[in-house]
Amino acid sequence: MAAQNATHAQVATGPQSEPDGVRDREIGTEQQHLDRVYRRLEEKIHEAEFLMDDAAKRGQVGTPGALAERDAQVFRAGVHLNRLNSEFEDFLFGRIDLLLGKDGKKGPDGAYTSVEPADDAVLGDRADIAETLHIGRIGVLDADYSPLVIDWRAPAAAPFYRATPVAPGRVVRRRVIRSKGRRVLGVEDDLLRPELTATLGGSTLPVVGDGALMAALGQARSHTMRDIVSSIQAEQDMVIRAPAASVTEVEGGPGTGKTAVALHRAAYLLYQDRRRYAGGILVVSPTPLLVAYTEGVLPSLGEEGQVAIRAVGSLVDGAEADTYDEPAVARVKGSSRMLKVLRKAVRGVLEGPGGPERLRVVAFGARIELGAEDLKRIRNTALGGTAPVNLLRPRARRLILDALWSRAGGPKRYTDPELAAEARSAFDEDITTEDDFLAFLDAWWPELTPRQVLAGMADEKRLARASRRVLNPRETRLLARSLRRLDAAGRGPLSVHDVALLDELETLLGAPARPKKPREYDPLDHLTGLEELMPQRSESRRERAERLAQERRDYAHVIVDEAQDLTPMQWRMVGRRGRTATWTIVGDPAQSSWSDPDEAAAARDEALGARRRTRFRLTVNYRNPAEIADLAAKVLALAMPGMESPAAVRSTGVVPRFAVAGAALGPAVRAEAEHLLADVEGTVGVVVPMGRRAEARGWVAGLGDRVVVLGSLEAKGLEYDATIVVSPAEIADESPAGLRVLYVALTRATQRLTVLSGERDDPDADGVPDLLRD
Ligand SMILES: Nc1ncnc2c1ncn2[C@@H]1O[C@H](COP(=O)(O)OP(=O)(O)OP(=O)(O)O)[C@@H](O)[C@H]1O
């Protein structure tokens, strides 16, 4: 791990100090340990299988108590088995050799807890190794409760990540073990106290290899993210294990590991306080592509489904956004001004033309009528309530009945209150059972769905009434036009920004009634008496609204990745899902595709309110070689003058390639992609302006699934072995945030970068486009 805290002194390592045969011997030593661990795991699996078997037998007894016990046991044993099976591959990855600690106390995992060495741990320049710990994805205790493997999230594993040559604590040697299944393939050591001659069991402590981080960073990339448990760096570990304060904010440039750190933090929090986080951890990701890229990481860390990774366009149930609005429309839809527009739009639907203008009923043998003015007055009184509009319908119905009763002279007919009450209830019943009255109510105060209201906003005239003095006429026109994709019921392709509007509307409207699904018949029911324990009460609307609101608040922790991109309306949507949660927010203002980073920051402040914040900064770029990072820094200087770029941890000696295509982009992109496919083992990303996505897919058709075409906004968070950035000037011109979007595009490659100039780029004699020159 030569770059452990790259700013600190180098760690002494190196094959030069490695005599022949030492590596094989050390691999053999670790192999013996792994064999022991596997034997123990097999014992545990047998125990789990026995438990399940035994539990199934108990199930045959059939009493409710025995069944409940059976369920609990089967569940526990099932989880256990799943875990062991899924973690069976590659789960032991580290080892630390430690000096004697200051005190002799042991923690629950069987390891000594002291961080600092005892005063007499080192004599002159000699020391004995007092403790050896192996680190893995889950903890395994031997039959005598001594630790065979320490879970990477346990406190005893922290020194594996945190020790540096400047502050080594008790760690003398840190070893990363590469294993596959039951076989140890390699070991890489860092010596943290090179000045010492340390002995283990009487022999000198050997040192093998030259660090695991570089090996990990140089590996080819696939279409899914790998975990980094074996090489988490000290500054990253500080974030992963930070106490779950109300808000943990992490900033850092491209490639500093923000996404990796956020996901590993989720795994750490679950480990550290499973009960607290059983309420779920929500990870909000900017695009479905990034969700697909990161989804696999957590199960491999040994979790059991408490973590939901959702794209910001899929946070509302039933809505799946697959469209991007053009920047001017996105700016309107994302702005907090939309809140006012939506409020008025909801009212506008109720008041809008086409609704009934009068109500006629027959009561006491006479015809009674409420006219347009009466209905308007009643509607305004009803809307004076604070509840969501759909939940105000019963109130409006009652006000209508009151008005009819009074118009029919009801209050004057009866002096006896009891008689009056009886007559009133008969009057109400007569009217409300009439089909005409029900039809009137449905037309006059329809139960609205968020999608209907949104679709209604496609009518420019109607929208203009709702947006008066909030949006200007151009903004209103753009907004109305963009919503014409939807039919009257709101079906049709939704944009990412529409989803936040739907969520806001759902809050304004209250949840519409959903047809109740009949509960499936379960043959166990009559045995367990479950029906009695869980009576099927019918739920009132208010109860339902409260329940849904509750469900939304359910997340115990919310992680926001690429937080710089959330619009004010999206912050409101995400905020609703974490009202009582703790938060981890990671992002980089320099990569913001939102036109106004200050506005987004203000919206974040509003969503988080007065919660206490703890801030961290990540400073080392683990993705891009220095040659690519240096080029990207030129765009950063234009996009955000004065912003520092993170220090690249490695260099490949290969500078970015510049090619000029002019108008003939297709053949040039294809040729460059073919060239890069031959150069790298893994993936090639072709980043194009958003409007060129469809044609670009044609350019690379047939080159295989190692090549991926992405619109500039879709590249966020992803990475490829090699990247082709097509027409930088066109990407930069696409939106007011275009230079920052270009910065994102230029920082996706782990090995090779080709920049292809289009018609607008004005390349110099070397093919370097205007925007990337010194
Ligand atoms: N400690 C580490 N060990 C090995 N690889 C690492 C480490 N930290 C980060 N990486 C790798 O560096 C790359 C960048 O990480 P990640 O995507 O989390 O960065 P990021 O800060 O989210 O980047 P961006 O802001 O550009 O989206 C990934 O391939 C990740 O696996």
Lowest mean pLDDT among 58-72, 316-330, 480-494, 598-612: 58-72
Identify the band that residue 2 occupies on the pLDDT scale cut at 50, 70 and 90: very low
Per-residue model confidence as pLDDT tens digits over 100-149: 988 878 887 778 888 889 988 888 889 999 999 999 887 888 888 889 99
Lowest mean pLDDT among 54-58, 449-453, 751-755: 54-58
**DSSP string covering 506-562:** HHHH-PPP-PPPPPPP-TTHHHHTHHHHS--PPPPHHHHHHHHHHHHTT-SEEEESS
Residue 544 confidence (pLDDT): 42
Q: If you measure from the C-alpha of residue 151 to the centroid of ligand 1, how many angstroms do you get, rounded to a whole number? A: 22
Instruction: Kindly state the average pLDDT of the residues 441-464.
Output: 91
Residue 542 confidence (pLDDT): 41
Residue 388 confidence (pLDDT): 84
**DSSP string covering 68-83:** HHHHHHHHHHHHHHHH
Residue 71 confidence (pLDDT): 56
Whole-Å CA distances, 501 to 319, 340, 346, 570: 11, 11, 12, 8
Identify the band that residue 61 occupies on the pLDDT scale cut at 50, 70 and 90: low
Q: Flag whether pLDDT at 529 surpasses 50.
A: no
Place of tokens 């009056």: 420
Q: Count CB-CB contacts under 10 A for residue 163.
A: 27
Per-residue model confidence as pLDDT tens digits over 6-36: 333 333 333 344 556 888 999 999 999 999 9
Reference 401, options 372, 365, 426; nearest CA is 426
Per-residue model confidence as pLDDT tens digits over 672-685: 999 999 999 999 99
Reference 720, options 754, 691, 690; nearest CA is 754
Q: Binding site, residues?
A: 252-259
- Rounded CA-CA distance 755/762 in Å is 13
Per-residue model confidence as pLDDT tens digits over 729-750: 999 999 889 999 999 999 999 9
Instruction: Kindly state the average pLDDT of the residues 637-651.
Output: 91
ipTM above 0.85, yes or no: yes
Pocket, ligand 1, Cβ cutoff 6 A: 213, 216-217, 226, 228, 231-233, 236, 252, 254-260, 588, 591, 622-623, 717, 719, 747
Q: Flag whether pLDDT at 5 surpasses 80.
A: no
Residue 467 confidence (pLDDT): 95
Q: If you measure from the C-alpha of residue 256 to the centroid of ligand 1, how many angstroms do you get, rounded to a whole number? A: 5
Q: Which of the two residues, 393 and 222, has the higher pLDDT score?
A: 393
Lowest mean pLDDT among 78-92, 333-347, 403-417: 78-92
Beta bridge partners of 101: 117
Q: If you measure from the C-alpha of residue 217 to the centroid of ligand 1, how many angstroms do you get, rounded to a whole number? A: 9
Question: Which ligand 1 atom sits nearest the alpha carbon of residue 622?
Answer: 12
Identify the band that residue 85 occupies on the pLDDT scale cut at 50, 70 and 90: low
Lowest mean pLDDT among 208-212, 249-253, 305-309, 412-416: 208-212
Longest dimension (CA), the chain: 111
- Rounded CA-CA distance 551/546 in Å is 9
CA-closest residue to ligand 1 atom 3: 231
**DSSP string covering 748-764:** -EEEEEEEEEETTS---
Phi, psi at 536, each rounded to 5°: -85, 70
The answer to whether 615 and 251 have CB atoms below 8 angstroms apart is yes
Number of H helices, E strands in the chain: 29, 25
Strand order in the sheet with 720-726: 657-662, 749-758, 720-726, 684-688, 707-711
Residue 545 confidence (pLDDT): 40
Identify the band that residue 547 occupies on the pLDDT scale cut at 50, 70 and 90: very low
Tokens of 641: 């003058």
Residue 558 confidence (pLDDT): 94
Residue 697 confidence (pLDDT): 96
Q: Binding site for ATP, residues?
A: 252-259
Average pLDDT of the chain? 83
Whole-Å CA distances, 283 to 258, 259, 386, 558, 585: 13, 10, 32, 6, 10
Beta bridge partners of 755: 658, 725
Instruction: Kindly state the average pLDDT of the residues 621-635.
Output: 96
Residue 535 confidence (pLDDT): 29
Q: If you measure from the C-alpha of residue 623 to the centroid of ligand 1, how many angstroms do you get, rounded to a whole number? A: 6
The DSSP letter of residue 768 is: -
Beta bridge partners of 725: 687, 755
Residue 298 confidence (pLDDT): 67
Query: Which span out of 274-278, 292-296, 409-413, 498-502 was modeled with the highest average pLDDT?
Result: 498-502
- Rounded CA-CA distance 346/332 in Å is 18
- Rounded CA-CA distance 577/338 in Å is 20
